[in-house]
Amino acid sequence: MITPPSAVVLAEARQRLTALATPTGALGRLEGLAAWLAACQGVCPPRPLDRVRAVILAGDHGVSHDRVSAYPRAVTAVMVRAFCAGRAGANSLARQHGVSLRVLDLGVDDDLEELPAEVSAYRVGPSEPIDRADALSAADCRYALRAGQIIADVEIDAGADLLIVGDMGIGNTTPAAAVIAATFGLTADQVVGRGTGIDDVRLRRKSEVIAAALRRVGDRAADPEVRLAALGAADFAATVGFLRTAARRGVPVLLDGIVSVAAAGVAEDLEPGMIAWCAAGHRSTEPAQQLALEKLGLEPILDLDLRLGEGTGALTALPVLRSAALLLAEVALLEDLLPAPAGD
């Protein structure tokens, strides 16, 4: 069981919010975000989020051979190279907001040989097609969970005061939707979404792949680690390990799209209480992400129809979370603004 953020500081933050020179409740959802951050930090007012660190965990997926995406499998490697060159959406957002960004290959179907060796330092390999085989062996899943732990440890040791984990992998919304269905008892039709923008034919195919995977795995999915190995991928397992480590070490996380939220569902089953360290950056257009956020009790900061992945939803939401913290710290208390009562 994970130690929750401080209830004492949460109460202190709520009290301070009512004393600010703003009408009670006028800061809306910024109030809850500010109080949550204070509780995570164990101090009110919270410190500004000056050392935000993001990682993108990339991998290829067996299902991407099966026409479930609008893009060819090779695009995963193209985008990993783009991250390393600083030219993708996540890079632009990370630069804007002063966020450190690393990309790591957990199982890209490409040797990426011209990239720095550390990019593939935790590589496990692409997943199997989940409708026909377990995505990963149990041993590979454990290895990837452990890799995610180390990846988070590195960021936390570097001083992270907030973590973001993004995803890259053509086809990855198929296993992510399957993991969410298995975690929350939903059907393939409920969780399937258009991912990168697929047509109706591919959408039906994708739903069939998810349904077949759920049938194949059956009751084995009740065990969160088995579920992850059977329906997930190496990059998903690393994401689960990353989230679990952040919560264990008391570092808050801003979740992104369907992959990070699928991983959060598994991480919460593995390590109850983990989700108290997470806020949701945005509501994606993927139905599975929306359903999982609801089941996890998370209300997203942004709702802008984003569906890019890469951590971009969380990175776009970051300034709002930062503002919440700064408002709680910087706005005057009403009593300090009112004229002192007359007296000698």
Q: Which residues bind its own copies (CB under 8 A)?
A: 20-30, 70-71, 78-79, 81-82, 85, 87-89, 91-93, 95-97, 195-197, 285, 301-308, 312, 316, 319-320, 322-323, 326-327, 330-332, 336-338
Residue 295: count other Cβ atoms within 10 Å of its Cβ. Answer: 16
Give how far Cα 291 sits from Cα of 192, 257, 260, 284, 286, Å: 11, 12, 13, 10, 9
Give min distance, CB of 138 to its own copies, in A.
33
Please give the Cα distance from 27 to 37 (Å, whole number). 15
Give min distance, CB of 44 to its own copies, in A.
16
Give min distance, CB of 62 to its own copies, in A.
20
Give min distance, CB of 8 to its own copies, in A.
25
Q: What is the H or E stretch that residue 94 is in? A: helix 89-96
Q: Specify the residue for token string 């570097």.
A: 158
Q: Which is nearer to its own copies, 123 or 322 (CB)?
A: 322
Please give the Cα distance from 111 to 105 (Å, whole number). 10
Q: Which is nearer to its own copies, 189 or 330 (CB)?
A: 330
Please give the Cα distance from 164 to 152 (Å, whole number). 10
Q: Which is nearer to its own copies, 203 or 226 (CB)?
A: 203
Q: Which is nearer to its own copies, 96 or 187 (CB)?
A: 96
Catalytically active residues are 310
Residue 64: count other Cβ atoms within 10 Å of its Cβ. Answer: 25
What one-character DSSP code corresponds to residue 123?
-
Beta bridge partners of 56: 103, 166
Please give the Cα distance from 290 to 28 (Å, whole number). 21
Length of the chain, please? 344
Q: Which is nearer to its own copies, 202 or 227 (CB)?
A: 202
Give min distance, CB of 190 to its own copies, in A.
22
